[in-house]
């Protein structure tokens, strides 16, 4: 900032797309209960590259890259990126990742006392339910009678929790927008806070021996796992980027 340089995450992938609707919701005065994405690939936490060679070839990618998506590593990285740009945190280590459809999201990613799964408000999470991927979402809350009346009348939901949803992310097709906004408007689409609140750490997905050298992300040894910064430090967890 002192040098007048814009440091920004890129539009088009889930983190910046989620930031877009978080900013929209906050600007309207809604409380943010949860924000995140629909997982694009079925979750298999012990996925190994050898099992995905055929599918990877069909999708024009290498098997290791595909496994990063399947075993949840990429989702953990993306949710931690959102957390460290907003102050939202993983509710529990690894997040919940419910099988909640788009219609069910607001009733699941809400506090336990209201029938949901969350221990607190203001979290990052993801869903593997039908109709959410490839979109991103923000679960918002309002208790204001007039706002509730308007949201219900507009058929956004039943309240007091509502889902704001962007049904797509266009990956590299949207990236030029970030470059243009940085150059023309001196504006970042996504930038980290001045302190971390979450960490993507490495969790073993196969038996590891003391002193064993670890392979790469998306291989056979470990997967990404989202935790709060405090949890990661307390457990002495290995940051995923250093594994």
d(CA 192, CA 9): 9
State both tokens at 147: 């706002």
For residue 136, give its domain range.
Answer: 14-194
State both tokens at 124: 């990052």
How confident is the model over 57-79, as pLDDT tens digits?
Answer: 999 999 999 999 999 999 999 99
Is 68 within the bounds of a domain?
yes
Is 200 within the bounds of a domain?
no
pLDDT < 70 stretches in the chain:
none
Is 236 within the bounds of a domain?
no
Residue-level pLDDT at 146: 98
Percent helix, percent strand, percent coil in the chain, to nearest 5: 35, 20, 45
Write down how long the chain is.
243
How confident is the model over 16-31, as pLDDT tens digits?
Answer: 999 999 999 999 999 9
Query: In DSSP terms, which residues pair with 240 in a beta bridge?
Result: none
d(CA 243, CA 7): 25
Is 237 within the bounds of a domain?
no
Instruction: Specify the DSSP class assigned to residue 166.
Output: E
Is 46 within the bounds of a domain?
yes
Is 204 within the bounds of a domain?
no
Residue-level pLDDT at 1: 82
Helix (H) or strand (E) holding 38: strand 31-38
Give the total number of structural domains in the chain. Answer: 1
């Amino acid at each position: 900032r002192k040098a007048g340089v814009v440091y920004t995450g890129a539009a088009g992938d889930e983190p910046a797309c989620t930031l877009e609707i978080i900013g929209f919701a906050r600007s309207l005065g809604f409380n943010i209960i949860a924000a995140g994405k629909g997982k694009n690939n079925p979750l298999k936490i012990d996925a190994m590259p050898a099992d995905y060679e055929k599918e990877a070839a069909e999708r024009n990618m290498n098997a290791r890259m595909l496994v990063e998506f399947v075993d949840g590593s990429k989702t953990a990285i993306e949710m931690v990126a959102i957390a460290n740009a907003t102050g939202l945190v993983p509710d529990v280590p690894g997040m919940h990742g419910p099988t909640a459809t788009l219609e069910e999201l607001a009733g699941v990613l809400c506090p336990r006392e209201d029938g949901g799964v969350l221990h607190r408000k203001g979290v990052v999470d993801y869903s593997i339910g039908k109709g959410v991927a490839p979109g991103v979402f923000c679960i918002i809350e309002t208790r204001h009678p007039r706002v509730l009346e308007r949201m219900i009348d507009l058929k956004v939901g039943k309240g007091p929790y509502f889902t704001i949803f962007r049904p797509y992310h266009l990956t590299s097709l949207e990236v030029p927008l970030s470059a243009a906004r940085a150059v023309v408007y001196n504006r970042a689409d996504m930038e980290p806070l001045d302190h971390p609140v979450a960490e993507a750490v490495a969790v073993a997905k196969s038996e590891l021996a003391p002193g064993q050298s670890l392979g790469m992300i998306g291989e056979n040894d470990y997967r990404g796992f989202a935790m709060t910064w405090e949890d990661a430090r307390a457990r002495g967890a290995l940051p995923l980027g250093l594994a």
